[in-house]
Structure 1
Amino acid sequence: MFVSAEIIAVIASAIGTVLTIGAAMFAGFAWCVRRIDAVDTKLTARIDAVTAALTARIDVVAADTTELKISLARIEGPPRLLIATR
């Protein structure tokens, strides 16, 4: 069977085009994955920092609230029995 040079050239050109497009798509997808991983790392670090700061602030508020409750209990509590009132 005889195949002309033009047919071989068309087939080789089609294979080259498919391979080029496939390689470009693979490289683009790999770039997207790399960018997503970089953003994920930065976002995780940022969320951890915000969580730590928020936890510290909540702890401070909880300590202040506890001190406030104790102070109010002392002010509003029953009169002390050892102090003579007039």
Structure 2
Amino acid sequence: MFVSAEILAIVLSAIGIVLSLGTSMFAGLAWVVRRIDSVEEKLTARIDAVDLRLSARIDALAAETTEVKIAVARLEGPPRHLYVSGR
């Protein structure tokens, strides 16, 4: 069987194009995944920092709320009983 040089050149160039496109797509996808991982690490660190500050503020607020409840209970005190002297 005889294959002309033009057909062989077309087949080889098609294989080359497919390989180069596949390689470039793989490299591009790898770059995107690496960038996403980088952003995710930065975002996780930022969220953790904000979470620590918010936790501290919530704990302080809970302590203040408890103190306010105690102060209100002291102000109200037990119900006062009114004793009326007998006539």
TM-score with structure 1 length normalisation? 0.85
Map of 2:6 onto structure 1:
6
Deviations 1:38-69 (A, max 9, x none): 11111111111111111100000011111111
Map of 2:62 onto structure 1:
62
Superposed CA RMSD in Å reads 1.3
TM-score with structure 2 length normalisation? 0.84
Question: Runs of 4 or more off by more than 2 Å in structure 1?
Answer: none
Structure 1, unpaired ranges of 5+: 80-86
Give, in whole Å, the separation in 2 of the partners of 1:14 and 1:70.
Answer: 82
Deviation at 1:78, TM superposition (A): 3.2
Identity of aligned residues (%): 68
Structure 2, unpaired ranges of 5+: 80-87
Q: Which has the higher mean CA deviation after the structures are superposed, 2-11 or 13-22?
A: 2-11
Give, in whole Å, the separation in 2 of the partners of 1:25 and 1:38.
Answer: 20
